[in-house]
Each structure stands twice: as C-alpha cells, then as structure tokens.
Amino acid sequence: MLSRSLLTATITTLVGVLLLGAQPAEAAVHFYLEPGESKCFYEDLARNSLMLIKYKLEVSADGGRNYIDTTNPNSPTGLDADVFFTVEETFDNNHMVGSQLGSHADFLFTAFDGGEHRVCLRPQVGPGYKLNQKARLTLDVSTGDKSILDKGEAKGEEIQQRVQKLTQTLRFLKNEYQVFRHKEAIFRDLSEDVNSGAVKWIIFQFVVLIGICYFQLDTLKTFFVKQKVV
C-alpha cells in the first residue's frame, strides 16, 4: 500500500498536470527574415479551438544592424508593412483553410477540424508586394478556447483601428475596381475599332480582288477575240 505522504504527492502531481493542461498553450518566438523570405511553423490544434498570434514586425534599413517596429502606428519607417498569413491542414493534403493579412499586430484563426496545421507568414508592403528589406519577426502564439481573447487590452480602440483599416482596404479595392473598369472600357473601344478596321480592310481587299479578276477576264476575252480575227 502507498504511504499517506506518497499518495498526497501523487495526487498533487496529477492535479498540477491537469491544471497545466487546462491552461491555453503559449509560445513566444522570434526569427530573422531575408528580403522576400517567408517562414512556416506547425501547430497541433483541436477541433473548434482558437489560435491567436500576436506579432511584431521590425524592418531594417541598414542591412540588419538596427530594426524599427512597423506595427507601431507611430513608426518612422514610412512603410505600410504588415504580415500575410496562410493556414493549411497537413492532415488533409495541405488544404488551405485560412489566408489573410494580419490586423494591427494580431491574427486570429479558428480550427474547423483537429490535427496538425501549417502556418506560413510573409512580410509584405502595400497590396501584396514582398518586403525587400531584412526583417525581424516576433510571435506570441496562444491556442485554446475563447478565454485567450481576454488577454487583449483596449478592445474598443483595437476594434476602431480594425474598422478604419477595413475601410481603407475597401476604399483601395473600390479605386482599383474603377481603374480596372476604365481600362476595360478603353480596351473594349480599341478592340471594336480594330475589328471594324479589319472588316473594312477585308471588304476593300475583296472588292480589289474582284476588280482584278474582272480586268484579267476582260483582257483574256479581248485577246482571244483578236486571235480569232487574225
């Protein structure tokens, strides 16, 4: 039989393990990226669990000697730099289940199925251009239930910032769509002009060809008539 002290120690250990397992999983890492480089890591997520990634993107303008935080709204870099995330289910033939730009230094993902997920991230500038400078990326990854969302501060301000960024994105897309429609109209008009000119040129060639044939036939007819007379 186990002694009382050994039994107490065993129970304490089990309770500690259970409490540890009940806490959301967290991991903080940082790594350096060369210009245009992307990084991937793997997370084992339970079904319907959340993964919250807090990140800080720092860019170097002097070849890696100094880094400036670009996720800070008051950053002096002048770069509209952020991080683009993709999430794939490795257990389902690398099926992509998430693809979006981070928002104000965080990225939230909900796992629809349990299993290993591959998370890839790529610093970019503006609408999809790769960052052509060295970067340092710090990640704080939390996984668990919705309780991990309670860690954030100033939620109202964060939501307002997200709305502003979404509004800017929609405005940019609207402008791009208008430019696309304008170019499409120019291309359509040009195509119609080219097609109309091609049709006219074909008709002109056809008329000229008929005229040449008629002239040749008339010449041959005259020639044969003269031959008979002679």
Please state, rounded to an integer, the average pLDDT across all residues of the chain.
76
| pLDDT score at 68 | 81
Tell whether the model's pLDDT for residue 173 goes beyond 90.
Answer: no
CATH code for the structural domain at 24-147: 2.60.120.510
Tell whether the model's pLDDT for residue 227 goes beyond 50.
Answer: yes
Percentage above 70 pLDDT, the chain: 72
| pLDDT score at 1 | 43
Tell whether the model's pLDDT for residue 15 goes beyond 50.
Answer: no
| pLDDT score at 21 | 41
Assign 177 a pLDDT band (cuts: 50, 70, 90).
Answer: confident
Q: Which residues pair with 110 in a beta bridge?
A: 50
Tell whether the model's pLDDT for residue 8 goes beyond 70.
Answer: no
Tell whether the model's pLDDT for residue 52 goes beyond 70.
Answer: yes
Residues 6 or more apart in contact with residue 108 via CB below 8 angstroms: 50, 51, 52, 53, 149
Tell whether the model's pLDDT for residue 37 goes beyond 90.
Answer: no
CA angle 218, 224, 228 (to 5 degrees): 145
- pLDDT: which is higher, 73 or 68: 68
Average pLDDT over residues 103-112: 80
Q: Is 55 exposed, middle or buried (0-12, 13-18, 19+ CB in 10 A)?
A: buried
Which of 60, 182, 53 minimizes the C-alpha distance to 131?
A: 60
Percentage above 90 pLDDT, the chain: 8
* Residue 164, Ramachandran bin (φ over 0: left; ψ between -120 and 50: alpha; else beta): alpha
| pLDDT score at 17 | 34
Tell whether the model's pLDDT for residue 157 goes beyond 60.
Answer: no
| pLDDT score at 11 | 39
| pLDDT score at 118 | 93
Domain layout of the chain by residue ranges = 24-147
